[in-house]
Amino acid sequence: MTQPRRLRIAFLTATDPLDQRSWSGLHYKLGQTLEKHVGDVTYLGPVSLRYLFALGDRINKVVAWLTGGKRYHYSISILVSRLYGLIFGAKLQGKHFDLLFAPAAYTEFAYLYTRIPIVYCADSTLTQLIDYYEGLSNLLPLSKRELRHIEQRAIRKASLLVYSSQWAAESARRDFGAKRWQVVVQPFGANFEQLPSQEQVFSRHQKPGCHLLFVGVEWNRKGGRIAVDTLHALRKMGVDAHLTVCGCVPPPGTDQSHLTVFPFLDKNIPEQAQQLAQLYLQADFFLLPTRAECAAIAFCEASAFGLPSFTTDTGGVGEFVLEGVNGFRLSLAAEGADYAAAIKRVVDDAALYAQLRRTARQLFEQRLNWDAWGLAMKRVLTSRFLAAPASARFKRLVAARLARKYSFRLSELAE
């Protein structure tokens, strides 16, 4: 039996898709996974509009002064979207692809005119992020309208929508009229080139005490203050706790006793990626009391290392942290004392802790990994976008015409 040919995929991003810092490393892993499982990938990015964006920064200072702090989100604007459409249209001129894969690239393709089917991949809709993420807060009404207009065009233009959570998919259906058959939900995976084996995870020598790991580049949004409060609350409960913070620096005035800080570790640098892996291996729990979240890849990484996660029940987190399986989700109102109580319950129950470690790793192996994402995309994309033989296309055409004429079900005729 002959294998189906590989899909020809154009990977559309304005960022550098080979930079593991682009979209938290997702652009890189998405491209690599598509190449491994689905088809031959041609990268259309990066595209730099830095001079235009520098002008936008200057204009925004004036706008903020005139409006009491309001901003115009120039990077997600109709002008920029039209410009991207021209640039990427020129890049596609004369090229032949089975599909365009556009991860978080709504601005880039909303005004792109092409006959190539577009697969749009995202971890949220813009509607969900307005006044939820700090970067999309305090916007001018005009800017909010443009954001919604651009995403509406993108969703209507896309042949397939791939979201990382049901939370995001539901917004696409509810807020933008996406059809159920148009939407696929598949969570992302862990962003490490080399992940530990089961033996490495479960054979490590556990040090005395309770070692917490916090990974994130935005101190406030990721709940850094609550993480520190959790550390000190645990110590007041008699738990020998220590917190390691990686990715950001606590603000001045933070009590840093029993706290270790790694300001940033770059996964593009193998030595630093290995250092981050060691932090996961040495930790007992992953703590991320995030205030706003779409799809923190760190939850996948924590599960890969067998770490139970303690986090917030907000945004798309529920797709990545399953209650009692690979961690626990507390309410948005929970404070350090609440997180400390939840963690201490597990610290005091060795059997529960061992079970959480096992099921966290199992969830990673079954679902929260890039091979699972890639195989799911292979099934969906090849069935929808790989050209069928002429005979099969003819049968479907005849069946469709008969179905329209006699109101028969297409599935019955095609069998």
Q: Within 158-283, where are the H helices?
A: 166-176, 198-202, 224-236, 270-282
**What is the enclosing helix (H) or strand (E) of 121?**
strand 118-122
Specify the pLDDT at position 22.
Answer: 84
Positive/negative CA dihedral, 99, 103, 107, 108: negative
Specify the pLDDT at position 408.
Answer: 37
Specify the pLDDT at position 222.
Answer: 98
Specify the pLDDT at position 2.
Answer: 63
Specify the pLDDT at position 388.
Answer: 52
Specify the pLDDT at position 185.
Answer: 98
Statement to judge: residues 242 and 309 lie in one domain: yes
Tens of pLDDT along 158-180?
Answer: 999 999 999 999 999 999 999 99
Q: Is residue 371 part of a domain?
A: no
Tens of pLDDT along 3-49?
Answer: 778 999 999 999 999 988 888 889 999 999 999 999 999 999 999 99
Statement to judge: residues 59 and 103 lie in one domain: yes
Statement to judge: residues 262 and 114 lie in one domain: no
Domain count for the chain, please give it.
2
The structure tokens listed for 274 are 């290995």
- Domain, as residue range, for 68: 7-185
Positive/negative CA dihedral, 400, 403, 406, 412: positive
Q: Is residue 399 part of a domain?
A: no
Q: Is residue 398 part of a domain?
A: no
Look at residues 185, 214, 235 and tell me which one is the last residue of a structural domain: 185
Specify the pLDDT at position 407.
Answer: 41
**CA dist., res. 370 & res. 301, Å (int):** 11
Local structure of 256: helix, strand or coil: coil
**pTM higher than the cut 0.85:** yes
Local structure of 76: helix, strand or coil: helix
The structure tokens listed for 205 are 């020598």
CATH of the domain at 166: 3.40.50
**CA dist., res. 336 & res. 236, Å (int):** 12
Look at residues 185, 210, 229 and tell me which one is the last residue of a structural domain: 185
Look at residues 366, 390, 405 and tell me which one is the last residue of a structural domain: 366
Specify the pLDDT at position 297.
Answer: 94
Positive/negative CA dihedral, 400, 405, 410, 412: negative
Specify the pLDDT at position 317.
Answer: 98
Q: Comparing C-alpha atoms, which of 301, 368, 367, 315 is closest to residue 123? A: 315
Q: Along the chain (415 residues), what's the average pLDDT of each consecutive run of 10 residues?
A: 83 93 90 97 95 90 90 95 98 96 98 98 96 94 97 98 98 96 97 90 83 97 98 98 97 95 92 95 97 95 98 98 98 98 97 98 98 98 76 48 44 36
Q: Comparing C-alpha atoms, which of 260, 273, 266, 201 is closest to residue 227? A: 260
Statement to judge: residues 76 and 127 lie in one domain: yes
The structure tokens listed for 283 are 């930790």
Statement to judge: residues 162 and 137 lie in one domain: yes
Q: Comparing C-alpha atoms, which of 46, 82, 367, 355 is closest to residue 202? A: 355
**CA dist., res. 164 & res. 128, Å (int):** 14
Q: Is residue 382 part of a domain?
A: no
Q: Is residue 131 part of a domain?
A: yes
